[in-house]
Structure formats: structure tokens, C-alpha cells
Structure 1
Amino acid sequence: MRKIEQVLLSFVQDLLKNNTIPVNCITLPCEDYSWLDYGLRATILENHDHEFIQMYFNKIKTNTIYYLKDTLHCTYTILRIPDSPILMICGPVLFEEMSPARLKEVFRKMKIPESQQPVLQGFYLRLTSFPTPTVYNNIFITLGNYIFGENKYEIIYDDFNDMDSWYETYVHYSNIEDSRMNIRMIEERYAIEAQILDAVARGNESKAINIISKLNGRNLPYRLNSSLRDSKDYAIAFNTLLRKTVEQTGVHPIHIDAHSNQNVKLIEQASSREQCSAIQLQLVRNYCRMVRKYTLKDYSLLTQKIMTYISADLTSDLSLNAMAELLNVNASYLSTLFKREVGIPLTDYVNRQRVEQAKKLLTVTDFPIKSIAEKCGIPDVYYFSRMFKKRTGCTPKAYREQAGWEQRMVANPGTQNDPIY
């Protein structure tokens, strides 16, 4: 293959893996195929071998993309890498929702013993599911066009019913009830959640989003008849985990509580499982930003109290003497401690916070500038304007006009006048 084809192949493999779709590259013969189904067949069937699978893979042709759907309704995609004996096998994935009713239908058709039903359900929970195969299939069509040549390869859709003869009778099913598959599935989910929480605790938004994208591709266990209710309950529990994680980083509960309660309301308003997944992504983003903005773990308890009090109410008296009286400490000691830990005097810190709040209000509201000055704790609008210009380089009015122009450009790109040459 040419280098560009190798790069594209690697890109597709990484794209699939990042969406929790297994990708395995093998050279025949292969002695162990348990990776095909996370060991499901070996777990629920007695004396199961992979002869049928081996025979099928031996027949894989070059310049061909195979889409296989097996007895378990899972889809695999297989292709032989050009100029190589290597087979790339992607999957399993689902293109349907395994609701409780659908699971019962599968159990009935395959005559799955009751003791083995949790094993099969656990298997489905590990799989990535898509509402339709269109996007998934287009990935491989694009890949085929590049590595085989447009219109120079074949696409084969096939049924892979290697288990048909097995569920004709119960005797072929294993009697082992406590499966290690469910244990591994639970361990994987908890491990992913732990990675997300660790990234959030560090305020690492990009890493947390990348990890949660993998988790959202997985199915959730159904406890009720409504899968939407399951998704909402999971999102609420996830919000609780995030809230406690952020609190442990030193963010004061005053910043967390209202945000957390609003998240629950937002989750309850969701009308689909997809919306619940989107909300979880937003939760992670917001909590990461909260950590970066409000974490106080590196400061002494006294400084933490000062910074929390300032951010809670910018309109109150935030002078050095007022803060010292509030905290019952010496004003000189408080001033020295704050400057040593934060790097700037208390008055400068307060003014910075007020200007940052003013910038936000100027951007997202149409409040009069006098009203914004008051909301930021500066009743004298002329003093407010001078302080704002000193710290930003422009007046509040000019800042609002510039922010409004930038927002219009984002909303309507291309509306600005083209230069005339």
C-alpha cells in the first residue's frame, strides 16, 4: 500500500476504536477467536469450537468488504488488507436497540436457559449501537474507495449463522451460572467512569470528553420498561459522581449546588436517550470548567473563604477591613497572607473579579451600563468605566459593541463586506 493508504487505514482503525468498536488484525490460521464475541460462545456453549469461523475466514477474497450479521444480531465488517495476508475484522456492533422485549424474543428463539440469560444481556451491554448502519457503512465505503480504488471492489452482505445448530436443544448450553463476562463488563464500565472522574478532577476537558464518548457508545442495563427512564437515572447518578468529584478538588459547594440542581432539571426534561447522552457530555464540560475556575485546594483555608465570599456576592463590601472583620482576623495579616498566596493584593483581585463579571454581563445581556456597574458592586458608573478601561483597554460601551459584532460574525459568517481591490 501507498503511505497515504496506510495513514487512512490507521485513521479508520483509530476512529472505530475511539467509538468503542473492536478492531482486530489477524493472520490465518488463528488459534483463538474468543475476542470475536468477548468469549460469549465459549461461555454459554459446551464443547464449542471455531471451525465454522475458520472456514469462513479462509474464503475471504481480496478487494472485497464483507458485512456479516450473526445469530446474535451483531454485525462484523471484514476486509483483507491489500498486498498482505492480514484480515481486518471490525465489530461486533448493533444496529438495533436491545430493549427488554427484544431481549426476550432473542432468548425465546435461541432457547437460552434462564441461568444464561444475564450472560447474554451482559454481552449486549458491552456493544456499541447505532440507530442506523448508514454512517458506519459509509466509513468502510470511503476506506474501500481509497485502498482498493473506486468501483474496483465488491461489497458482500452475509448471514453468519454459526450457532443455528446449537440452539436446537438445551443440551448444548453450559450450566455455569456465574459468568466472568458480566464481571468484566462491570469492571470495564467502572474503570471508564473512574478515568472520566480523574480527568474532571484535573479540569482536563478534552481528555474527559474523549473518554465519555466511549462510555456513551455502550448500552445501559434495563431496569424498567422505559429505556429513557434508565438513561435519565444513569445521567442523574453520573451528575452526583461529578458533583462529589468537583467538591473534592476544593471547589466550594456554593458554586456546585445550584449548578447540580439545574442539571437534574435539565436531565428530567430530556425526551430521548440521545438527549441524555448529549447532556452528559455537557455536564463533563461544565464541571471541568468549574474546576479550572474555582478550585481552591492550593490555598489556605482562610484564603479559600475570602475567594468564595468574593465570588458569591460582588455587590457586598469587599474592602480589606470589611473582610478582616467578617473573618475575625487582623487586616494586616489578612493582606499579607492573601498577596503571598494569590500573588496580587486583595483589592486588585476584587477589581479583577468585578471586571470579569462586567464583561460577561456586557456580552450576554442588554442591561444598561449603570445597572451592570451596580451588579458588579460599583455604584459610581464613572469610576466603573475608568476602572474597566484601565483593565481592558476600552470602555464598557466599546467592549459591548465589539462583543456583539463578534457574535454576529459567528452566527452569520460571510456577512462582513469583502475588501475591494
Structure 2
Amino acid sequence: MYTTKGIRYLSSMLYETFRIPVGYRNSTATESMFLPSSFQLHPRFRDISAVFDYFIHDTDPGSKPVLCSTNFLEYYVVMQVQDPGKNPGMIVLGPTIPSLLSEETMQNLFHDFQVPRREQEQWAAYYRQVPQMSNKQFIHAALLLHFLVYGKTLEFHDVIIAAHPKDSTIQSGDDLRKTIAERRELRHFHQDPTHEAMLFQLIKQGKKEELLRLFPLLSDEKMGTLSKRSHLRSYKNLAITAITLATRAAIEGGLFWEAAYSLSDLHIQQIEELKEKNDVEKALVLALVDFTERVHARQLPNVSAAISRCQNYIFNHLYEEISLTTLAEITNLHANYLSQRFKKEVGISVSEYIQRQRIEEAKELLTLSDFPLSEICSRLTFHDQSYFTKVFKKYTGMTPKQYRKQRQLIP
């Protein structure tokens, strides 16, 4: 079993290894530590004791590590340290965030928590210092912590299960039986799942007309209730669920996953701003049609999983140098074999495909931004503006300046 001195040493080693904050408090709360001492806690936590208290009241960790998230978008790992004959002490790893918060996310936090303007820079400074770590890496750190303390191995899913204990779920037994009885009596049954499957299959296939014919057949009454307090909120929740499923169907239909998820975000943001149920319904139809049309426009001859992965990578990294070596690494294929296979399946070489995609992106920038030609050229890794102009004209039949001027004349 551990000693306080041993826990202090362990905490120090964990911090030096992962460069994430580590805290410990003993069973009587008479002794605590937090590394690094220079780390500034979240403005809503007055001191380290408040952090420990937050997790004591909100979780029941037991001896397994628990991955916890806060309302402030942080993640912590919490683990009780059993001391025979005494109440358990606690080790806390974190906070961490998966990635640096965008300006938009920061503004949303300020809005949600009504942060006064005078305190906003303090919040922003806090998030700039929080270490970035994926949840996968964080859970591996938790598994190592548990092994070092208890000498026992856990599986990756053990942390996840511990983070979502069964006793924290809603008491749904009686509620479920009551809801089913009421629906039987009123003959208000949920939608036949085959209808929903048909809807999302049409999105996957890019069939807009069939989608529009099917959608009116999906009755509101058969959709279920996702909010007991607000019909508008319930319908928004249903719409968001539908968009989430449509996103997956669109990806399966060939839409690049980054484009699909970004499109999903935009449609959900729009729906959240609406105030009328009918407006939400119209927005949902437009969203489903949007996914379907984009899948239809994107549809290409069937390509293998390896080539699809290359295309997705290229789509996401147009502003970076892309080499055949990198594509070979992400597909686990030999570069020469990948090059031949790509040309056979897509019809053009890897380099020409990348070039075409960059020109398509250049067309978007010329239309939607005021960036000078030199900046667009640089952003898309064309190191010679005259070469960029030559390539652009090869695929569009006009120079970048002519293209921008033409697009500006279109109302």
C-alpha cells in the first residue's frame, strides 16, 4: 500500500512525464498538494480544495480512475486512494482540454456563464495555460496511475465504464412502462424504423426527389418527445438527432467527413436560433436536402477504403504540403503501389488530383474572401504566383483575376 511520501513522489513523476497538473489530498483533508504550484486554477475554483470538493460531491470514484468533465469544457481524472481503516484519499489529474478553444467557443462560454467583461481576459488566460491532451491519451495516463498505485492492470473501457456508473442513470423502469402504456392506449406509436432507414438510405444515395416524397410521410406524433417542458425544444432535439444521422449517412455516401461534420454544425447552429416549430421543420428539410445534394454532387466511381482515406486526407490538408510518402503511411501501402492504384481507381494521378483540389479551393477563396492573389497562392502552397496562375488557367480557362472579376459580377 502507499505512503504519503510515495504518493508525493508518484505525483511528481506523473507531472514530469505527462506535463499535466496533478493533485493529491489525504483522507482527513489535512494534507494536500498540487503540481505545478504556478498553475492558475479555473476562476470559478477559489483554491485546490474546491477542486477536490467538486468531485467528491459529484462522483463516487471507488478505486477505479474516473474520467470527469466539467461544465467549463475541462477534463479531469479522479481516483480514490484506499487507505485501510481510513477514508480514502484522492488523486486528481488535470485539468486538460482536447484542443485549444476557439474564439467562438470562448464567447459562448462567456455568454453561458454570464462572465463580466472585466473577467473575460482572466478566463481566456486560464484556458491558454491548460495543457492539451486527447481523451485517449488522458485515459492511458489514468490506467498507468491505477497500475502504479494498486499494481493491477485495467482495460481501456474500464475507465469509461467507471466514468458512467449505472447508478447515475435515470430511474427509467417505471417511466418506461408508463410511457408504453400511454402510447398503446392513445395508439401513438413511434415511427416504423424501416421508414427512417429508407430516409437515410436516400441521403446516402444522393436521391433528393425520393427524399422529398418520403419526408411528409414521417408524422410528428410518431417522433417521440425529447423534452417534457417545451414542444419547440423537443422538436429541435429531434431535428438535431436527424441531422446527426444524416451526417453519418452522407459520409457513408461519399461526402468528406470534415465537410459533413462542418455542415452538420452549421445546420444545428441555425436550428438553435429559431423560435418557431414550423421554422425548425423547414430548416430540417433544407438540411436533409443539403446533405443529399452534396452527396449527389460528390458521387464518384466506387473507390477502395485506402483511396477514400487518401481523398479525405487531401481534403483536410489542402493548406499543407502533401506528399505521396505521407499518403502511403496513412494507408499502410507502398508508395509506388498506392500511386498506381490511385490512378487506376480515380482516373488521374495523385499529384494531379491534389492540384485540382487546390484549384477548387482557390476558386472558393477568390469568391468568398478579399485575400490578395499572393496570399491565396501562398496559403495553398503554390510557391510561385506565375505557376499558380498557369495551373489555375489550365483547369478553369481563365486567370485568377479574371475569375474573381467574373464572380463579382454574378448577383
TM-score (norm 1): 0.49
TM-score (norm 2): 0.50
Whichever of the two has the greater Rg, that structure is: 1
